[in-house]
Amino acid sequence: MTTSEILLQERANIGNGWTKCNQPFMGRIIRIGNQKNCNDDNLIVCYYIKNEIESIFKKYQINDYILNEIKTDFEFSYEVRLKEDIYQLFKENLNNNNFVNSFNNINIAV
């Protein structure tokens, strides 16, 4: 599992999971990135996060999501919006390590 996958899984299993939303549909918001700190250090911009997120969702066969780039003077992140049923499926698959092996397209459950 990549660091981003571990982050997604751990947050999904804490309390109520990722932030609930009702716009543009009932579901969840997942946001991964960096914020500027109080020491006025430079904002860390990591464009590779987008590719990691897309790879993770592809790995777990999640295709129905909205991916937005958030870029302000204080934050650089990627926001994923998932419908609630898709989020629950993704969470279940993460927890069960149930994903598709892209080399031979076989479902793998570890």
* 102 three-class SS: coil
Domain ranges of the chain: 3-109
Q: What is the pLDDT of residue 44?
A: 87
φ/ψ (deg, to 5) at 58 = -65, -45
Residue-level pLDDT, tens digit, the chain, 110 residues: 788 898 999 999 999 999 999 988 999 999 999 998 888 788 889 899 999 999 999 999 999 999 999 999 999 999 999 999 999 999 999 998 877 655 444 444 44
Q: What is the pLDDT of residue 110?
A: 42
**Contacts by 15-19 with C-beta closer than 8 Å and gap 24+?**
17/87, 17/91, 18/87
Q: What is the pLDDT of residue 101?
A: 58
| 78 within 8 A of 70, measured Cβ to Cβ | yes
